[in-house]
Amino acid sequence: MIKTALRCAALALSVLALGTPAHADYPEKPVRIVVPFAAGAGADMASRFMAGKLAQRWGQGTVVDNQVGANSIIGAQQVARAPADGYTLLVPNDTTLAANPALYARLPYDPLKDFAPIALIGETPFVLVASPSLKVRSVKELVEAAKARPGEINFSSSGVASAQHLPMEILMRSAGIRMLHVPYKGAAEAATAVVGDQVQVMFAGVSAVLPFLQSGRLVPLAVGTSERLAVLPRVPTMAESGFPGFRYGAWLGFVAPAATPAAIVQKINADVGEVLRQPEARERLLAMGFLPAAPASPEAFRKHIDEEQARYGKFIRAAGIEPSR
């Protein structure tokens, strides 16, 4: 009888174990978070902050892995091919999932089919900055200088068709001006070039250049948001500067490989949402020049990606940028 009872108990436990999802206690080990941008960039700073907050909630480490190159394609491709177990995540921006499909005739990943959208984190607003040596204090003065010296004023970015390059192309097309593009390997390096007066102008993420703006080493001309920013209340918007309808900022989110279990996607989404609801976390992100998103579902994030693909495709075609092959 005792042996029979023990066998029945063991069988019941095995059935229970089989019925319990392997991810019920996710995460049970450190989570790798791939950031396809250079360390020190605004996107990297916000990603590391969120990774630290998630590590606190999970009681497990998070490893931020900067996989830089090819306009975020290298990092995205790695995650698309990673095991779909929730232990490798990607923090893409608008370039990764919305602009690249229009910029490249062939991509080694499909922005929608190869990833499971998890949550939108928020937006890095962009600001048009100039070196003090250029002696311009507004977008109007920059346009006038560029028209007087066509092709002589230069601007930096983190690469061709990058998040810093696209808004400048839109501005040049809208204003009828021509400036020289000087691409760098990362946004931080591109900003440093303007601070060092090697390049004269840049559209940069606010979080990446805020210390230079506060110290006067860079001159803010306008922000790309629809409204003025709390961290730069005296800086006008591009719309106020004579370019109505101009809006540009780089959003960030979390995605996982496409086949990641829905329960894991929902758990990460809920945890990201809890972090974004914390007043202290929101204040810290705002102080970095980052606009945190309102918590929303994975389905809402997927819809956002769809809409942004259409919007960026329109931008890129209007700017006359041909897809790379």
Asked if the model's pLDDT at residue 6 lies above 50, the reply is no
The pLDDT of residue 23: 63
Higher confidence at residue 224 or residue 71? 224
Of the chain, the percentage scoring pLDDT greater than 90 comes to: 70
Give the helix ranges, DSSP H, for the chain. Answer: 2-19, 42-58, 73-80, 94, 100-103, 139-148, 165-175, 187-195, 206-215, 262-277, 279-287, 298-318
What is d(CA 167, CA 241) in angstroms, rounded to the nearest whole number? Answer: 15
What is d(CA 96, CA 6) in angstroms, rounded to the nearest whole number? Answer: 56
Asked if the model's pLDDT at residue 5 lies above 60, the reply is no
What is d(CA 132, CA 255) in angstroms, rounded to the nearest whole number? Answer: 40
Across the chain, mean pLDDT equals: 90
The pLDDT of residue 40: 79
The pLDDT of residue 42: 78
- Taking residues 191-202, what's their average pLDDT? 96
Strands 88-90 and 31-35: parallel
Instruction: List, in order, residues 6 or more apart from 143 with CB less than 8 Å away.
Output: 175, 177
What is d(CA 272, CA 276) in angstroms, rounded to the nearest whole number? Answer: 6
The pLDDT of residue 303: 96
pTM above 0.85?
A: no
Asked if the model's pLDDT at residue 170 lies above 90, the reply is no
The pLDDT of residue 52: 97
Asked if the model's pLDDT at residue 99 lies above 80, the reply is yes
The pLDDT of residue 15: 44
Asked if the model's pLDDT at residue 199 lies above 50, the reply is yes
> Using the 8-state DSSP alphabet, how is residue 67 labeled?
-
> Which of these ranges, 1-10, 83-92, 267-276, has the smallest mean pLDDT?
1-10
Give the pLDDT confidence of 36-64 residue by residue, as tens digits. Answer: 988 877 788 899 999 999 999 999 999 99
Give the pLDDT confidence of 232-261 residue by residue, as tens digits. Answer: 999 999 999 999 988 888 899 999 999 999
- Taking residues 216-235, what's their average pLDDT? 95
Q: Within 10 A of 107 (CB to CB), how many other CB atoms are there?
A: 17
Higher confidence at residue 102 or residue 88? 88
